[in-house]
Chain A
Amino acid sequence: MKRCRIEIEGIVQGVGFRPFVYQLARRHHLAGWVLNDSRGVTIEAQGDTAAMEDFLHALRAQAPPLAVITRFKTRPCPLATEDSFVIHASNETAERRIQIAPDTYVCGDCLAELFDPADRRYRYPFINCTNCGPRYTIVTGVPYDRPLTTMADFPLCADCRREYENPASRRFHAQPNACPACGPRLSLHDGAGRRLEVPDALGQAIALLRQGRILAVKGLGGYHLVVDAANDQAVAELRRRKTRDEKPFALMSRDLEAVRRYAWVNEAEEQLLLGVERPIVLLPRRADHGLSPRVAPSNGFFGVMLPYTPLHHLLLEDQFTALVMTSANLSDEPILFEDGEALTRLSDIADAYLSHNRRIHTRTDDSIARILAGRAVLMRRSRGYVPRGILLPQAQPTVLALGAELKNTICFTQENRAFLSQHIGDLKNLEVLRGLEHSVDHLGRILGLRPRIVAHDLHPDYLSTRFAEELPEVRRIGVQHHHAHLVSCLADNGRDEPAIGVIFDGLGFGADGHIWGGEFLLGDADGFERAAHLAYLPMPGGDAATREPWRMALSALAHAFGESLPEPAFFPTHAPGDLRLVRQMIARGINCPLTSSCGRLFDAVAALIGVRQRISYEGQAALELEQIAAEGEQGRYAYELYDRQGPFVVDPAPLIRSLVEDLGQGVAPGVLSARFHNTLAAMIQEVCGRLREGSGLNLVALSGGVFQNRYLTEKTLPLLERDGFTVLTHSLVPPNDGGLALGQAVIAGRLAARQQQS
Chain B
Amino acid sequence: MTNNIILLGHGSGGKLSHQLLDDVIIPRLSGLPQREQNDAAVLSHGGRRLAFTTDSYVVDPIFFPGGDIGDLAVNGTVNDLAMSGARPLYLTVGLILEEGLPVADLERVLDSMKAAAAAAGVAIVAGDTKVVPRGKADKIFINTAGIGVFDHDLEILGSGARVGDQILVNGTIGDHGMAVLAGREGLDLHSDIQSDTAPLHELVADLIAGVGRDLHVLRDPTRGGVATTLKEIALQSNVDLTLEEPALPVGEAVRGACAILGLDPLYVANEGKLLALLAPEAAGRALDIMHRHPQGRHAAIIGEVTGASAGKVYLRTAIGGLRAIEMLAGEQLPRIC
Q: Which residues of A contact B (CB under 8 A)?
A: 243, 330-333, 404-406, 427-431, 433, 459-463, 466, 505-509, 515, 517, 539-547, 577-578, 580-582, 584-585, 588, 590-591, 593, 595, 599, 618, 705, 737
Contact = CB atoms under 8 A, between A and B. Distances in A.
Interface string B223-253: 0000000000000000000000000000000
A591 B261 contact: yes
What are the nearest 7 A-B pairs in CB distance? Answer: A541-B262, A506-B337, A544-B262, A460-B329, A430-B322, A542-B334, A542-B262
Interface in B89-139: none
Given A429-B321, A461-B326, A505 B262 contact: no
A625 to B, nearest CB: 16
Given A580-B188, A590-B181, A462 B321 contact: no
Contacts of A405: 335
A546 B322 contact: no
28 contacts: A243-B319, A330-B320, A406-B335, A406-B336, A427-B324, A429-B323, A430-B322, A430-B324, A431-B321, A431-B322, A461-B326, A461-B335, A505-B337, A506-B336, A507-B336, A509-B333, A515-B333, A515-B334, A543-B335, A544-B261, A546-B334, A578-B260, A581-B189, A591-B261, A591-B332, A595-B334, A618-B337, A737-B337
Contact of A584 (B187, B323, B330): B187
B153 interface: no
Nearest to B190: A577
B334 A545 contact: yes
Interface of B: 15, 181, 185-190, 259-263, 314, 319-324, 326, 328-337
B336 A585 contact: no
A386 B185 CA distance: 51
Contact of A430 (B259, B263, B321, B330): B321
A433 B337 contact: no
Given A430-B314, A590-B187, A330 B334 contact: no
A546 B322 CA distance: 22
A405 B314 CA distance: 17
A163 to B, nearest CB: 45
A460 B15 contact: yes
A593 B333 contact: yes
A461 to B, nearest CB: 6
Given A243-B319, A544-B259, A577-B190, A406 B324 contact: no
Given A459-B335, A590-B181, A332 B321 contact: yes
B261 A585 contact: yes
Contacts of B323: 428-430
Contact of A462 (B15, B263, B332, B335): B335
Contacts of B324: 427-428, 430, 433, 463
B314 A547 contact: no
B321 A330 contact: yes
B262 A543 contact: yes
Contacts of A428: 323-324, 335
Q: Which of B15, B330, B334 counts the most chain A CB atoms within 10 A?
A: B334
A231 to B, nearest CB: 26
Contact of B188 (A243, A463, A542, A584): A584
A618 B15 CA distance: 28
B260 A582 contact: yes
Contacts of A580: 188
A201 B35 CA distance: 57
Nearest to B326: A466
B263 A461 contact: no
A539 B336 contact: no
Contact of B260 (A430, A461, A541, A737): A541
Nearest to A597: B337
Given A243-B319, A461-B329, A462-B335, 10 more contacts: A331-B319, A461-B328, A507-B334, A507-B337, A515-B334, A541-B260, A544-B260, A577-B190, A588-B185, A591-B263
Nearest to B322: A430
Given A588-B185, A590-B181, A590-B187, A541 B261 contact: yes
Contact of B330 (A460, A463, A540): A460
A460 B334 CA distance: 11
A76 B190 CA distance: 86
Q: Which of B328, B329, B337 counts the most chain A CB atoms within 10 A?
A: B337
A461 B15 CA distance: 10
A463 B325 CA distance: 9
A409 to B, nearest CB: 14
Contacts of B186: 584
Contacts of B263: 541, 591
A578 B259 CA distance: 10
Q: Which of B187, B190, B324, B326 counts the most chain A CB atoms within 10 A?
A: B324
